[in-house]
Chain A
Amino acid sequence: QKEVEQNSGPLSVPEGAIASLNCTYSDRGSQSFFWYRQYSGKSPELIMFIYSNGDKEDGRFTAQLNKASQYVSLLIRDSQPSDSATYLCAVKDNYGQNFVFGPGTRLSVLP
């Protein structure tokens, strides 16, 4: 069974700090990796995706992928209170159409 693991948190960081969110996955055939942000009472919204080893940057967000270690992370620089949300890691392989979501990490950015 394909599994995606995340620390449930809550992860608390002070405003302006770097928040680091981690995700591991069990299926070595996984090819695409996604980070979603979900505010309380809202639906998930896509932050970014990555499918090559290394780093991918988009504004304050950096996704890091290490397929050998089956590990993907999301860094949020200059964290803001508005970044407080649950962050969901999702994994997809090239053979299926389905995403497998992790349990999510709750981030709290303290002003």
Chain B
Amino acid sequence: SAVISQKPSRDICQRGTSLTIQCQVDSQVTMMFWYRQQPGQSLTLIATANQGSEATYESGFVIDKFPISRPNLTFSTLTVSNMSPEDSSIYLCSVDIQGAGNEQFFGPGTRLTVL
């Protein structure tokens, strides 16, 4: 498994501003993922972040809205830009551990409220 931390754990932001969420892992991992979980919903993948390359975004998510950095094998950031109330959600990072099942482990999440 892996120990994953996220900052901030929660935030309340004003419409039109941006928030950068940090994800730190206690071991080097190749792949990191960013998910969004809206209230009462399941997880939706935003993008996959590999070190040394551009993030790969899923349908419906664009780099201008959700820029991602992956400067090394233990760290990534997700920025939610020009926020609106519809961006209120929990944002989760996860890592893919190349174990027996290639399972994913999740960070504790960042609860974002946009007013």
Contacts and interface: CB of A to CB of B under 8 A. Distances in A.
Interface string A21-45: 0000000000010100000001111
Contacts of A90: 104
Interface in B78-115: 92, 96, 100-109
Interface residues of B, number: 19
Q: How large is the interface on A (under 10, 10 to 19, 20 to 34, 35 or more residues)?
A: 10 to 19
Nearest to A31: B102
A34 B101 contact: yes
Contacts, number: 41
Contact of B101 (A42, A51, A97): A51
Contact of A34 (B42, B92, B103): B103
B48 A101 contact: no
A103 B41 contact: yes
Contacts of B31: 97
A46 interface: yes
Nearest to A49: B101
A46 B101 CA distance: 11
Interface in A86-106: 88, 90, 92, 97-99, 101-104
A32 B102 contact: yes
B102 A43 contact: no
